[in-house]
Structure 1
Amino acid sequence: MYDFNSYDLIIDARSPREFADDHIPGAVNLPVVDNAEFAEVGTLHRTDPLAAYQLGARYSLLNISRHIETHISHVEARSRILVYCFRGGKRSKVWQDVLETIGYRVERVKGGWKAYRRWVNEQLVTAPANFRYIVVSGPTGCGKTRLLSALHESGAQVLDLEGLASHRGSIIGAVPGKPQPTQKLFDSRLLERLSQFDPSRPVWVESESKKIGQVQLPEALLVKMREGQVLAVNAPMAQRVQLLREDYQHFEEDPQVLIDRLRNLRPLIGGEEFEKWEALAAARQVPELFERLMRYHYDPTYRRSILRNYPGIDSSPQIPLQDLSPAGLLPVARELQERFERNVD
């Protein structure tokens, strides 16, 4: 596959819908035909291929003309450009022909996005094994994600899987206003992030299950994480409740939405316990609701999961966190780096 960082511009010639599903990181979507035009040409092609090609050519020339004015006119003459479409066929070729006529140095991805996608799948089988992982584990609300952020700020190599997935990793983990990427786009982002790491240094990551929301982690990554150094973090319940109030403020403003998200758990935790959750939500006693959720559902569930995936967790280094604010976690992150990165093989 190509060294994508070596190009000044990467053009995705596919429709916006295809681009949203997945694309090469850093690519700009300059479609030859938009969603509606793509569907129209495809429908016409079934009955009259010649007319379909004529229609596609008209749309292509109009759209490329607009893209030249809005994007290409600002690209320097010595720039290297990479262009691709679905299979490396007509849509990317028309872009290549136009750009080469202008005078740019242009390459076209052989096999297009389909070839890129195969390469991503192949890489995610092998790339995770290139790194040593330090896995931060701990129950809900103990500050794992914030600790990773502090580690990143202090210069550590951090793989923020929940950030890549746009999800906090539980039944209530959807981030308001931030839909999750497709599985394909998540894979692309994950591989891009791995490619930025130095294999001689450890990668810090949060313990995760197989799925984060609707996206699934590569099995090769899960295997290597479970072989890594595990750190068990925890925090006082009061700090954990405060963290949930800050990170899930939308539920504090509308606790009924939280109850609706949790409704599928009723058969698991029992009607009596669920009714207590409902009563706390109705009384808008959200801090008490958060604490009860952690004590009676999330903590026992997490305990079972962590013992299954990391059976040696109780003998792992225990990291108590007393202050889950960014300012409080930064010195902890620096101390952890000094303690666990200095003896890397």
Structure 2
Amino acid sequence: MSLRPLSADEALTRLAEFGAVLDVRSPGEFALDRVPGALNWPVLDDAERAHVGTIYKQIGAFEARKIGAALVARNIARHIERDAQNWPKDFAPLVYCWRGGNRSGAMAHVLAQIGFRVHLVQGGYKALRAAVVRQLDALAGQFQFEVICGPTGSGKSRLLQTLQRHGAQVLDLEALAAHRGSVLGALPGENQPSQKQFETRIWSALRGCAPERPVFVECESKKIGKLQIPAALLDRMHASPCLRLEVDLPIRVQILLEDYAALTRDPQELLKRLDTLTELRGKQTIARWRELVAAGDFPTLVQELLAQHYDPSYSGSMARNYQGFARSSAWPVAGSAQQAFDAVARQLAPQAA
């Protein structure tokens, strides 16, 4: 039998070595956070876990263990029959559960008895989570960030994507958070991850970057939608050099109309989001914007949102929070926005290589 225990730090360092990473917690636990690339092989699903917990509280541990053991045995058998039949003898899975106890131990034991080279995370997900938090704080201090600044609609996210295509290292926090960062920025049909999963995604993205090269990141406030940027990372961003996009208003309007096309196709959802600004902008202003939506005059709506909501606080907020903003270099974006972003990326990407 080949069964090797690993610390959480060693497991995270060696993730690429394993044939599969098996998270044997329930689907509900898995949905909240998991190791990048992990497969969910629950030995108890959410209902079964709740049922065993109820038996434990109402009757006792012995009865709960009997019922749980039967469920676990059936579920492990199903996973092996469905997913492990083509594994070679030298296949090396990594297995973890909540605390590295009964659930992962049962799965690891059976797989090891078959002859696979099983690795079991000591302390389970709780230890992995603690290691990710610890490592993320350390990673934030290892990189030189280049912060892309610019008012709403200047195409910061587009430049990030273009830089990535040109080979630069990029940390796209809004993509990782599944949110564009503004009050209107929730992505239609997509829920944000949990705070823990957001941090795991950031950790995973930074692990893939080389510390000797700069990492481009968009300026952000403390929160992206409902999610908080880790303090160590935000502090590092605030202290980093900035580059500033300068974009004429018509181009900004066009960029926003393209980026928020899903909202202009769904006026009711747009109205719902505009209503959240009532306390800030007043009923009269919101009524005016609702009239523009009803008339389908989205270019005017965007111009007024920029002038009355987004732009007034931009420069002051940047100057307060980003030390490099006052000394930031200006990068004009004119004509065809995408061609301009390509031109900027060609100049910046060689500096990152």
Specify the TM-score bucket, using the shorter chain as the normaliser: over 0.9
For residues 12 and 168 of structure 1, the distance between their equivalents in structure 2, rounded to whole angstroms, comes to 30
Q: Once the 2 structures are TM-superposed, how far is the Cα of residue 252 of structure 1 from its aligned partner?
A: 1.1
> How do residues 290-309 of structure 1 correspond to structure 2 at under 5 angstroms?
290-309=302-321
Q: Distance in 1 between matches of 2:301 and 2:145?
A: 35
SS of match in other structure, 1:31: coil
Cα displacement (A) at 1:326: 4.1
Q: Mapping of 1:263-342 within 5 angstroms?
A: 263-310=275-322, 312-323=324-335, 325-338=337-350, 340-341=351-352
Equivalent residue, structure 1, for 2:4: none
Quick one: which amino acid aligns to residue 243 of structure 1?
A: I
Q: Secondary structure at the match of 1:234?
A: strand
Q: Within 5 Å, give how 1:171-320 maps onto structure 2.
A: 171-310=183-322, 312-320=324-332
Distance change in 2, residues 1:24/1:231 (3 Å): same
* Map of 1:59 onto structure 2: 71
* Farther off after superposition, 317-326 or 45-54: 317-326
Q: Aligned-pair distance for 1:314?
A: 4.0
What percentage of residue pairs aligned between the two structures are identical? 44
Partners of 1:143 and 1:324 within 8 A in 2: no
| Residue equivalent to 2:136 | 124
Paired letter, 1:337: A
Partner in structure 1 of residue 34 of structure 2: 23
Does 1:9 find its partner at 2:16? no
Deviates more, 1:310-319 or 1:52-61: 310-319
CA offset digits 1:222-248 (Å, max 9, x no partner): 111112110011212111111111111
Query: 1:327, 1:68 → 2: CA distance?
Result: 52
Between 130-139 and 326-335, the greater mean CA deviation after superposition: 326-335
Provide, for residues 37-95 of structure 1, a one-character-per-residue CA deviation record: whole Å limited to 9, x for no partner.
11111111112221211111111111111111221112222121110000000000001
Q: State the secondary structure of the residue aligned to 1:38.
A: helix
- 2:56 pairs with 1:45: yes
Query: How far is the alpha carbon of 1:255 from its aligned partner?
Result: 2.8
Give how far 1:266 is off: 2.0
Separation in 2, partners of 1:267, 1:91 = 50
Question: Contact 1:14–1:29 (CA<8 Å) still a contact in 2?
Answer: yes
AA aligned to 2:169 is: Q
So what's the TM-score if we normalise by structure 2? Answer: 0.93
Give the aligned residue type for 2:113: T
Question: Matches of 2:273 and 2:173 in 1, distance apart?
Answer: 22
SS at match of 1:239: helix
Q: Which amino acid aligns with 1:269?
A: R
For the residue of structure 2 that corresponds to 1:40, the secondary structure is: helix
Uncovered stretches (5+) of structure 2, i.e. residues with no partner: 1-8
Say whether the 8 Å CA contact 1:146–1:324 is kept in structure 2. Answer: no
1:80 aligns with 92
Please identify, of 103-112 and 247-256, the stretch whose mean Cα deviation from structure 2 is larger.
247-256
SS of the equivalent of 1:315 reads strand
Length-normalised TM-score, structure 1? 0.95
Deviates more, 1:50-59 or 1:96-105: 50-59
Q: 1:216 and 1:324 mapped to 2: Cα distance?
A: 34
| Partner of residue 141, structure 1 | 153
Structure 1 residues 38 and 331, CA gap change in structure 2 (3 angstroms): same
Please name the residue that 1:33 is paired with.
44
Q: Quote the RMSD (CA, aligned, Å).
A: 1.5
**Mean Cα displacement is larger for which, 151-160 or 124-133?**
124-133
| Structure 2 CA distance for partners of 1:328 and 1:69, relative to 1, 3 Å | farther
Residues 98 and 125, structure 2, Cα contact 8 Å, conserved in 1: yes
The amino acid across from 1:91 in the alignment is R
